[in-house]
Amino acid sequence: MKRSTLGTVVSVSVIVIWLFVVTFAYYIAHKPFSDKNVLAILNVLSDVFVAGVLFALAIGLGRRVLSSFDFASTLEKFVFQFGIGFGILSLTTFALGLAGLLYQFLFWILGVGGIFLLRNDLRAEWKQWRGMRWVATSRFERVLLGFIGVSLGLAFLVTLTPSLGWDAQMYHLLVGKIALTQGRITVPPDIPTLSYPSFVEMIYLAAMTLKGDGATPMLHLSFALLTVGALLAFSRRFLETQIGLLASAILLAVPSYLLVATWAYADVALTFYVFMAFYATAIAQENPQDRWLVLAGVCAGIALGIKYTALDLPIALMAMLWFGKRVPFKRWLWLLVPCGVIAAPWYLRNWVFMGNPLYPFFFGGRYWDDFRSSVMSLFGSGLLSQPWRIVLAPWEATVLGQEGKMMYEATIGPGLLVTVPILIFVWRNEHTATTRTILRQMLVFSATLYLFWLAGASVSRSFIQSRYLYPVFPVLALLGAVACARLATLDLAQFSVAHFSRLWFGLILALTLFAQVMEFIQLNPLPYLAGFESRERFLATRLSPQGYWQALDFLAQQSSTQVIFLWEPRAYYAPATAVVLPDELLDRFAHLRFKYRDATTISDALRAEGYQYILLNRWGLEFQLADPLSGLAQSDVAVLKDILTRQARQVYGAIPFEYAVDGTGKISIAGSDDEPYTVYELGPRK
């Protein structure tokens, strides 16, 4: 027996050693991955870790602040806690930035230390979260869950890549880059959007201080996930659970909404906080506790700290309270005062830094004059010039709107326009008083925000953008979901309109998901995520128009430079060695002409301000020349040519600057498509 046991041990040992020897020998000779693969994966995981640190802090802080609230469900508690926790993180980062304390080691100490202090709260939250279950009760629910899961999964993979969105490169990330370069938050350069309310940008700044910009798109996508959670929780409290699931699918079936969620933008965060303000106000209508109005005011104040376009939100909330007739007027202060207090830091910052709390609108301020005011307003260029378009705006936005195009500048899909109008036909069949009340509040709220947007779009084309309506989309999605859920009341003996609508909406989801997959394949993020493609290569091959990254690379090869961009608004990926002034409003040259008139005076002014190079986007110039409201004329192009040929020399690009005018007066720029970007060096004064 002993011999048998000893023999078995020896045999087993030999087998194990043999397995190790052969396996290690093989994979030493045939490495399954390279060092680049490992480093790339570790880099992505570290970005996820940074986002996780901020998520943990947000939920822990939110739990502490809202511990006295009686929430209807774990999910409801979770989304409100997250929202308030992110608010604390944003304002804390803002305070540290103003104090000049943007140190990586300090942020890591605060982050890790905060998680340690909140460990019991986080442990309790994790237990509650693990206890949550979602059971699909029908095939349609499983379809909805599948669509939501796959859509968010694809979006998550995209967020692991560098952000390609224009506004991210223009200002959402540039705020943090400039603050980190200067070591503090201070008076910004002549880039108007840097003075927009910066709630979300402060969350991005916290992530960038901890590591870099890699986690910022994930942070933005998290607000889309939170909005889905809020829709489910709201429906569970006021409506039916399946309505929240359908509303979430309708919202995520808005292609541009989900696309923007994958970039380091602010629109999806604004959408979340606007809905949370509505959510808390709806609870306050049925709950006598003033704390719900305070919570609504805090969420509204955060929304005002994200974008100026949320300034109509308090009016929409007051309209809810007015038509609800359940909240006395004196209680409205519990909403309005917290709203003003929470929003105040961003407007006070502008007052101190720029001399205008709403900079650059209405009251002028630093860097501002009458010329730039006219460029920003574009008063009279809206839908009012063609009044019938005011009525047709929802149809135009849905059918004609397209991401990246001038008209409405977003692809919103058919889901909202297909479902919301159905409410007209099923409204009379809704017999539950509670449901009628909440539907009335939803209609008042969404109609108020829509009318404000429509008023802006009527007077200025600057507002003819569907993404300005994103904040009302969750409520519209709920209305559409309620309408679809009530279709069974219209079923005929020979035809079930409810079943047909589910099949039809399933087709819309299938087509939307197919488009998402195609866009994912076109972007092709997997080589970057696996380390087969560097960050520089990823950006170089995907930034459009082609040639932008190569022009930036040329500037990076120069010694310390100061560059002015003409008709190119993006500056985030500009080299660290260059001081760049982007052309954010595409009015930089027109403004120089307004101030200095001729080529010699303009060139001397640029030299006096220290500019050594001019980066020209010829495609952008031709695009502006085609716009009758740009104010550019042939005389402006002639002055530009004089500057580029007599006052400067071309140092990047092979095609010299030339232009032609056809018989209709249309001006075309040579090389605008073949070689959009050229760089010129300002020589000594001639």
Query: pLDDT (tens digit, 9 = 90+) per residue, 301-348?
Result: 999 999 999 999 999 999 998 887 667 778 889 999 999 999 999 999
Over 90: is that where the pLDDT of 613 sits?
yes
Task: Quickly list H helices, 239-290.
Answer: 241-252, 255-261, 267-286
- Cross-strand partners of 615: 565, 679
Q: What is the pLDDT at residue 431? A: 64
Q: For the chain, what percent of residues have pLDDT higher than 90?
A: 69
Q: What is the pLDDT at residue 131? A: 73
Alpha carbons within 13 A on the beta-carbon side of 332: 15
d(CA 26, CA 18): 12
Over 80: is that where the pLDDT of 105 sits?
yes
Q: What is the pLDDT at residue 71? A: 93
Closest CA to 266 of 172, 164, 155, 126: 172
Per-residue pLDDT tens digits for 253-294: 999 999 999 999 999 999 999 999 999 999 998 888 889 999
d(CA 270, CA 266): 6
Residue 190's pLDDT band (cuts 50, 70, 90): very high
Q: Which residue has the tokens 């020896």?
A: 10
| Phi and psi, residue 14, nearest 5° | -65, -40
Average model confidence (pLDDT) across the chain: 91
Q: What is the pLDDT at residue 1? A: 46
Over 70: is that where the pLDDT of 359 sits?
yes
The arithmetic mean of pLDDT across residues 409-421, rounded, is: 92
d(CA 252, CA 234): 17
How many Cβ atoms from other residues are within 10 Å of residue 408's Cβ?
A: 24
**Contact between residue 52 and residue 267 where contact means Cβ atoms under 8 Å apart:** no
The arithmetic mean of pLDDT across residues 234-247, rounded, is: 92
**Contact between residue 278 and residue 292 where contact means Cβ atoms under 8 Å apart:** no
Q: At what angle do helices 216-238 and 199-210 cross, to 10 degrees?
A: 130
Per-residue tokens: 304: 């005002």
The arithmetic mean of pLDDT across residues 197-224, rounded, is: 97
d(CA 199, CA 284): 25
Over 80: is that where the pLDDT of 134 sits?
no
Q: What is the pLDDT at residue 384? A: 86
Over 90: is that where the pLDDT of 546 sits?
no
Q: Which residue has the tokens 């079943």?
A: 499
What own/partner pairs with CB < 8 Å and gap ≥ 24 does 641-647 have? 642/599, 643/599, 643/602, 643/603, 643/614, 644/614, 644/616, 644/680, 646/599, 646/686, 647/599, 647/600, 647/603, 647/682, 647/683, 647/686
- Cross-strand partners of 517: none
Strand, helix or coil for residue 304: helix
Q: What is the pLDDT at residue 492? A: 84
d(CA 423, CA 478): 11
**Contact between residue 624 and residue 632 where contact means Cβ atoms under 8 Å apart:** yes
The arithmetic mean of pLDDT across residues 635-662, rounded, is: 93
Positive or negative CA dihedral for 86, 269, 536, 569?
Answer: negative
Q: What is the pLDDT at residue 511? A: 95
Per-residue pLDDT tens digits for 472-490: 999 999 999 999 888 888 8
Q: What is the pLDDT at residue 4? A: 64
d(CA 581, CA 497): 58
Q: What is the pLDDT at residue 592? A: 93
The arithmetic mean of pLDDT across residues 610-628, rounded, is: 92
**Contact between residue 158 and residue 212 where contact means Cβ atoms under 8 Å apart:** no
How many Cβ atoms from other residues are within 10 Å of residue 541's Cβ?
A: 12
Over 60: is that where the pLDDT of 608 sits?
yes
DSSP summary character for residue 30 = S
Per-residue pLDDT tens digits for 436-445: 889 999 999 9
- Does residue 44 or residue 462 have the better pLDDT? 44
> CB-based burial of residue 494 (10 Å sphere; 0-12 exposed, 13-18 middle, 19+ buried)?
exposed
Q: What is the pLDDT at residue 663? A: 82
Over 70: is that where the pLDDT of 94 sits?
yes
**Contact between residue 638 and residue 660 where contact means Cβ atoms under 8 Å apart:** no
Q: What is the pLDDT at residue 273? A: 98
Over 90: is that where the pLDDT of 493 sits?
no
d(CA 492, CA 495): 5
Per-residue pLDDT tens digits for 510-535: 999 999 999 999 999 999 999 999 99
Q: What is the pLDDT at residue 326? A: 67
Calculate the CA 12 to chain-centre distance: 59
Helix (H) or strand (E) holding 561: strand 561-566
Over 60: is that where the pLDDT of 3 sits?
no
Q: What is the pLDDT at residue 448? A: 96
